[in-house]
Structure 1
Amino acid sequence: MNKIISLPFINRSFIKKIILFLFFMSLTSHAQIEKVEPPFWYAGMQNPELQILFYGKDIAQYQVTVSNGIKISNVKKTENSNYIFVTIDTKKGAVGDFVFTFKNNSKETFTQKYSLKKRRANSAQRKSFDSSDMMYLLMPDRFANGSRNNDSENNTKEKYNRDLPGGRHGGDIEGIIKNLDYIAALGATAIWSTPLCEDNDAAFSYHTYGQSDVYKIDPRYGTNDDYVRLASEMHKRDMKLIMDYVANHWGIEHWMIKDLPTKDWINQFETYTQTNHKRTVIHDINASEIDKKIAINGWFVPTMPDLNLKNPLTLKYLIQNAIWWIEYADLDGFRVDTYNYSDPKGIATWTKSITDEYPNFNIVGEVWMQSQAQMAYWQKDSKIAAIQNYNSYLPSVMDFTLYEAISKVFNEDEVEWDRGMIKIYDNFTNDFLYPNSNNMLLFVENHDTNRFNQTYENDVRKYKMAMTLLATVRGIPQLFYGSEIGMAGDKNKGDADIRQDFPGGWEGDQNNAFIKEGRTPGQSEYFDFTSKLFNWRKTKKVIHSGKMTHYIPDSNIYVYFRYSAEETIMVLINNSNETKSVKTDRFKENSKNFTSGKDVVSEFTFDITNEIIIEPKSVLILELK
């Protein structure tokens, strides 16, 4: 039998207060702000307009005011009542806190504190990476595990599993910091890390290109403070930190994708549509409109929604996010993923907004095209693009045509009109197309390609030829982690094979290639050559900014000079399988009255007055005297 229990001792006025409290709580539950982005900003920016995103349940029902005499220039409410975009003028905003007040028709109010912080000294004029640098590309999950405490996290779906080739292996920011001296010993002066912001996909999240929160470092890598500390530790060593920025897409798990501010925040079709990857349609005067639409608006993959840079709210959000990271983490440059997959005008506006704020800031874009003309189209102030009244404002592009040549040329031993070193020569004959060929990123491999040492079956002679080329021609050389110890990997086996763990980065690794005594003889040969070459390059202004004269390859031998008023360097690359005698009278316009040259690697001095003997599949880098 159920009993009805009466509680006569409860005061009725108290019950009324409880009811009123619960009623007002039901109102204020609509007003809980879950996200404020950017989370704070900086005083004294060149562009004083700041668009702040406030996100919370039905927040659009509120009117917004702000304290401290700061002017609200625009309030944008969208079809999703959970968002308000408030634009303020920070020109008169002083360093410190101020308060936003939110009030609805029921006279309910709540407040949100916001901060303007002080910028670092000379922040706007910060230096960036350039042709004096050597960039080291690493994937943090596969480089080194500096802390076991963050291998798995409660709030991220994919957990640590080093036994799974495509799983999370536990590399982190602490692992990078602990091995900065190793990277510096290679002669590297800059680090490009693949993205570090949170990627909350349930599988294959280790590459972090499907980001789920672009204001937050993935907790399996560390914290935002750890990222700032990485930049600080690098700057102590005169090294530069390059962020891998993705403007084209986010991950399907991004918090905003799950509750879109506007339907057109991302590019959408009636049914899922993937990009056709034909970015040539952007400048192709014969291209169809449907092909252009699919190329620009199609998704990269089903788990990476395509951001709509034609939407002013989206574009402003991405511009501010990029600038926020530069200020907050004290960054030295960007590498931009899938640069020309985005709306051309939108990505140009994004780029120009950043370089307007930071005139010396370098940005290199991934423009994976098949000809120099197509790549030159995307570099800032391109005369080719100007024909179509377009300017990307992108300072630097990646030299994919040089990469393609390098990936084949060292196996082409026989002399033919279109094989062997002529491919390298021909690549540089088209430098006239680029507004600034010396501000291009050069590489023999990266995280998306077959490993160089896989392609050439760990023939260290061919590695030395390729590294010599990168180190001595125009542009900015980039090395992919592990190449310097002979790491290989087969793209045909999947991306995980080209992104293997660096030996010694994990406790218990039997081979620790981070330290001299831990390297095998084979690893040491790779490392010692790489270190000597790029440490030599660090101080050579003639390589950084000198002129270049090259000679048509003869017998598969490529000869070129880098020179300035102060110094001349002669480079010989013998790609044949025979020892060759190179007659030097042909090079008099550059060798002039020099009589000898000291080889940078062997330190042996060669007489250059008549001929130079060079061994098969080898290089000479001669400092002429």
Structure 2
Amino acid sequence: MKTKLIVLLSWCLVALTQAQVEKIEPPFWWSGMHAQKLQLMCYGKDISKYNVQIEGITIDEIKKTENPNYLFVTIDTKGIEPGTFSIHFLEKDKIAFSQPYELKKRRENSSQRKGFDSSDVMYLIMPDRFANGNANNDSHPDTVEKADRSKPGGRHGGDIQGVIDHLDYLKDLGATALWSTPLLEDNEPVYSYHTYAQSDLYKIDPRYGTNEDYKRLASEMHKLDMKLIMDYVTNHWGSKHWMIKDLPTKNWIHQWPEGFKRSNYRMTTQFDTNASVVDSKGCMDGWFDTTMPDMNQSNPLLLKYITQNAIWWIEYADLDGFRVDTYSYNDKEGIAKWTKAIMDEYPDFNIVGEVWMHDQAQMAYWQKDSKIGAIDNFNSHLPSVMDFTLHDALMVVFNEDKGAWDKGMIKAYDNFTNDFLYPDINNLLLFAGNHDTNRINEIYQGDINKYKMAMTLVFTTRGIPQMYYGDEIGMLGNRDKKGDGDIRRDFPGGWKGDTQNAFLSSDKENGRTNDQEAFHSFTKKVLNWRKNAKVIHTGKLLQYIPFDNVYVYFRYKEEKSVMIIINNNSNDQELNVTRFKEGLKDYKMGTDIITDSNIDVTEAITIQGKTSMIIELK
């Protein structure tokens, strides 16, 4: 009887603890971090009525909010060795209950991790549409929306295991880094595959797998000398996030008297010296969408929460970079602090921000140490931004067969004339398309020659190339006519029962078609050459004004040079090499790595219409 009573009392104590502390976040941390102050978010029914005590650890601050279900406890971890300690919750100076908390040992040299850079080629996937490695998690009891592959906007079942299963494909293609759109839980009832409306920042969506699966993905990629980039969302959460349902403070999110207020999306108001306050607020504080409450990064509790969460994922999963969604919609002072905190913790890490603007000066404003930002004493500390103006050119330029003052290849040339605006031109992310744009092969109607010209430019100019899954097999998709689902089609062969498997070469049964193989073989050849072409990674760019819609530029270092020719004219063109003496120097010969043909660069060079050449000079 006595044993049963002890068991019962123990069970009651556990139940009481669980009732009072539903969550502590971060769920664990690490010893020896650069930032020594750790904010613990403690959540439970009426938890704020308790005081907190931790033996052997200094508590800097206990912060209560208007919501009694929260306590924010800031502790000093300086000098604390790895191990587990107890957080005591006191009522009238007596311990009501305790909760264990662990500081783990960090990976060796974790703070010196090297992020992605211009030696990399980033491959972007939407995991729900890439490959289904585990059909058992297509739907999950903890999430509302169930798998339905018949719906373009539904969940299709792609997951982390599917990515792991095809890492060899990515490695063989020549990709060195993987950017996956978000994998954290998104429990919206519809359109949840999108995963930008997140409902739990410490949990991988169970339809993609588990936290351990994500950690395993990074580990498997590192074995292949590949890097993993997480898509991080600071600007908004999902309407189903548990904290949105029980806000710690009213100003945890941006509130509007009329309820929902959509952002005006005018990011120029962030630096426009003539902007009205109402318009600036309308951009930063307006909601991105009805299911995406706008987070208030000027709230120090929230800012600390998302900063620690981002660092937690880097440390836990062993990440190599972030791509930050809608970077320029955040409170700019808050997001700058967030970015700096991460880069202070990991000085060689890399973060690229989505700054979807159409003017180089406006984009350059957001890159770290920008002289433009310095005009109003702003420094984002953001190492990299996405080159949307180059993307704007790529969307049209190869359909302009006849060059003119403002048509054709001059659009590419003009993009690079503004490189002086950027503090670090090698740290720009270049792309012909992504998950929010029409497919590049749709724009060019499946014309492989136009694809080759576009990707030659992306793969060989300054910066970090990014390609979108399926472009390398000629996948099509028109967002304007058929919606987002059309540009986010399933990769053929990623699902059991698919009639065709584009992960396999054309000489395999049900493998790539001849047309798909032509796209793939070009991409593979150039990317695998690029891996070891250091002159492309960090060499200088020398460009020539396009004549007759032919664009010529060089990537060069003291000991190495590559000449790139893009003939966007429908007709063959003969180039007088005398004009290019500055770039050709004393080189006599070269090899076009696309065709493996030898080129005498002391004589006129003839290039076929609508083709490109990548001539490695010798």
TM-score range, shorter chain: over 0.9
Deviations 1:194-226, CA, capped at 9 Å, x for gaps: 000000000000010000000000000000000
**Aligned with 2:78: secondary structure?**
coil
User: Between Structure 1 and Structure 2, how many residues are aligned?
Assistant: 607
CA–CA distance in structure 1, aligned partners of residues 14 and 345 of structure 2? 44
**Which letter does structure 1 place at the counterpart of 2:456?**
T
CA–CA distance in structure 1, aligned partners of residues 14 and 394 of structure 2? 65
**Which letter does structure 1 place at the counterpart of 2:225?**
D
Deviations 1:545-584, CA, capped at 9 Å, x for gaps: 1111100000000000111111110010000100111111
1:483 is the counterpart of 2:476: no
1:575 is the counterpart of 2:568: yes
Deviations 1:41-80, CA, capped at 9 Å, x for gaps: 000001110000010000001110012x111010001000
CA contact (8 A) 1:31 1:59 kept: no
Q: 1:423-462 counterparts in 2 under 5 A? A: 423-462=411-450
Instruction: Choose 586-595 or 282-291, whichever is displaced more.
Output: 586-595
**Which letter does structure 2 place at the counterpart of 1:192?**
W
1:217 is the counterpart of 2:210: no
Q: Which residue of 2 aligns with 1:513?
A: 502
CA contact (8 A) 1:30 1:58 kept: no
**Which letter does structure 1 place at the counterpart of 2:317?**
A
1:300 is the counterpart of 2:288: yes
Deviations 1:424-458, CA, capped at 9 Å, x for gaps: 00000000000001100000000000000111100
Q: Which residue of 2 aligns with 1:273?
A: 261
Q: 1:18-97 counterparts in 2 under 5 A? A: 28=16, 31-67=19-55, 69-97=56-84
1:500 is the counterpart of 2:489: yes
**Aligned with 1:453: secondary structure?**
helix
Percentage of pairs with the same residue: 62
1:238 is the counterpart of 2:231: no
**Which letter does structure 1 place at the counterpart of 2:158?**
G
**Aligned with 1:410: secondary structure?**
helix
Q: Which residue of 1 aligns with 2:606?
A: 613
Q: Which residue of 1 aligns with 2:459?
A: 471
Task: Report deviation, 1:610.
Answer: 2.3
CA–CA distance in structure 2, aligned partners of residues 597 and 300 of structure 1? 51
Deviations 1:61-109, CA, capped at 9 Å, x for gaps: 1110012x11101000100000000000000211010000111139461
Give the TM-score normalised by the residue count of structure 2. 0.96
Q: 1:96-495 counterparts in 2 under 5 A? A: 96-105=83-92, 107=94, 109-271=96-258, 272-492=260-480, 493-495=482-484
CA–CA distance in structure 2, aligned partners of residues 28 and 563 of structure 1? 68
CA contact (8 A) 1:31 1:110 kept: no
Deviations 1:339-370, CA, capped at 9 Å, x for gaps: 01000000000000000000001000000011
**Which letter does structure 2 place at the counterpart of 1:374?**
Q
Q: Which residue of 1 aligns with 2:579?
A: 586
**Aligned with 2:228: secondary structure?**
strand
CA contact (8 A) 1:29 1:57 kept: no
Query: Unaligned 5+ residue runs, structure 1?
Result: 1-13
Instruction: Choose 234-243 or 101-110, whichever is displaced more.
Output: 101-110
Task: Report deviation, 1:624.
Answer: 1.3
Task: Report deviation, 1:415.
Answer: 2.1
Task: Report deviation, 1:623.
Answer: 1.0
Match of residue 543, structure 1, among 531, 536, 540: 536
Task: Report deviation, 1:30.
Answer: 9.1
**Which letter does structure 2 place at the counterpart of 1:611?**
A
CA contact (8 A) 1:145 1:170 kept: yes
CA contact (8 A) 2:263 2:286 kept: yes
The 4+ residue runs of structure 1 with deviation greater than 4 A are 24-31
Q: Which residue of 2 aligns with 1:561?
A: 554
CA–CA distance in structure 2, aligned partners of residues 107 and 307 of structure 1? 37
CA contact (8 A) 2:17 2:98 kept: no
**Aligned with 1:191: secondary structure?**
strand
**Aligned with 2:426: secondary structure?**
coil
Deviations 1:382-440, CA, capped at 9 Å, x for gaps: 00010100000000000000000000000011121000000000000000000001100
Calculate the aligned-residue CA RMSD, in Å: 1.8
CA contact (8 A) 2:20 2:46 kept: no
CA contact (8 A) 2:285 2:294 kept: yes
Q: Closer, same or farther in 2 for the Cα pair 1:598/1:49, shift >3 Å?
A: same
CA–CA distance in structure 1, aligned partners of residues 35 and 551 of structure 2? 49
CA–CA distance in structure 1, aligned partners of residues 111 and 331 of structure 2? 27
CA contact (8 A) 1:276 1:298 kept: yes
Query: Unaligned 5+ residue runs, structure 2?
Result: none
Give the TM-score normalised by the residue count of structure 1. 0.95
CA–CA distance in structure 1, aligned partners of residues 579 and 14 of structure 2? 87
CA contact (8 A) 2:17 2:97 kept: no
CA contact (8 A) 2:17 2:99 kept: no
CA–CA distance in structure 2, aligned partners of residues 621 and 129 of structure 1? 24
CA contact (8 A) 2:269 2:275 kept: yes
